[in-house]
Structure formats: C-alpha cells, structure tokens
Amino acid sequence: MEQWNDFLAPYKQAIEELKVKLKGMRTEFDRDHVHSPIEFVTGRVKPIVSILDKAVQKNIPLDKLDTEMQDIAGLRMMCQFVDDIRKVVELLRLRNDFEIVEERDYISHKKVSGYRSYHVVIRYPVQTIHGEKKLLAEIQIRTLSMNFWATIEHSLSYKYRGDFPEDIQNRLQRAAEAAYLLDEEMSQIRIEIQEAQRIFSRKKDTQNH
C-alpha cells in the first residue's frame, strides 16, 4: 500500500495542478466577457483497482505502468458546443507547461460502442523534493451531451461488466445517436443566434452614424 501511495503521489499532485491551470483558462474567458469554450473541468487519479483491472486487460506489466498506462492521471474538459472542442484543443497545443504526445479523435471516428470524445495525452513535469518527474496524463475533451452519454454508459458497463444484454446495447446505440443529434441541433441554434446578433449590431451601427 505504501508503495502505491508513493507511486500515485506525483499523479495526485499533477491532477491538482492541472485542474487549477485548466480551470484558469475558463476564468480568463469570463474575465474577457466572451463565450468560454470550456464549461467545466474535472480530474481524478485512477483508483488502484481500475489500474490493476486495466493492466490485466491490456497486458501491461506493473513496472511499466508509468510509460504504458496513459490515463492514471485523467482530466475532463466539458464544452457546450462541438466547435468548442477544436478551440480547446488549439489552446492546449499553445501551452508551454506540458508536451502533447498523442491525440485521439473519437469524434470524427466514434468508437463502436457509440463513444465520442477527443483525447489528448500529455507529458507533464511535476516538481518534487526528489527532482522533476515527467508523467503521462490524459485529457478528455467532450460536449455536455457526449459526457452525459459516456457517464451513463460507463456506469452501466460497470454493472454488466462490459457485456450488455442486446436490448440495453440497442438502447445505448439509440441514445448515442440522440446525443449526437442534440449536439447538432444546439450548434445550429448557436449559429442562428450568432447571425441574429451580427444583424442586430450592424443595424445599431448604421443607426448611430
């Protein structure tokens, strides 16, 4: 147990630091009074049982966890609109406090389960009393609708141990489709609101001149 605590301590530190940094991005948008592409941010260190389960499933030796398990430190950035995801990824690419090692686009290429999300794997340097440690962390960027679906599917998958009865499987597929349509509909509404605002401000400008 002591060994696990030592192993996980820098991951906990990384999560605490990254939560402050990523939430800070939202604060900056709020301060500028512009729409924030980030709605909220969460983070967690993977529970030991989940680390062990995944290590067995993926054949990862326990002494290779730090290089082969990319999501021991996991963060989620939730967005209102699908377009916001691209903006968030661009902002992450501009940062100098970590290095992006991999990106996985499960939005253009959704998983067979129906899962959609954009994953960015980073190498993050944590400063410890024993020197600098570079750790892998996974940032999942998704809309509120994608998050809703993934959260429910994840808890059901835990209940059924990934082996869903056929009717549940079908319902989850339909729910994934509904989540996709909700995102599409919201994006369309947003475009129309933005157009209406542009016309309104053009009218105001001509009246003032």
Within a 10 A sphere around the Cβ of 30, how many other Cβ atoms?
11
Which one, 71 or 84, has the nearer CB to ligand 0O2? 71
Residues 6+ apart with CB under 8 A from 79: 37, 38, 39, 85, 88, 141, 142, 143, 144
Would residue 39 show up in a list of annotated catalytic residues for this protein?
Answer: no
Binding to ligand 0O2, residues 93-112 (CB under 6 A): 104, 111
Residue from the set 35, 93, 95, 154 that interacts with ligand 0O2 by CB under 6 A: 154
Residue from the set 119, 120, 141, 143 that interacts with ligand 0O2 by CB under 6 A: 119
Residue reference for tokens 């909700």: 182
| 42 makes contact with ligand 0O2 (CB under 6 A) | no
| 72 makes contact with ligand 0O2 (CB under 6 A) | no
| 71 makes contact with ligand 0O2 (CB under 6 A) | yes
CA distance 165 to 172: 11
CA distance 111 to 160: 19
- Interaction site with ligand 0O2 (CB under 6 A): 46, 50, 54, 71, 74, 104, 111, 113, 115, 119, 150, 153-154
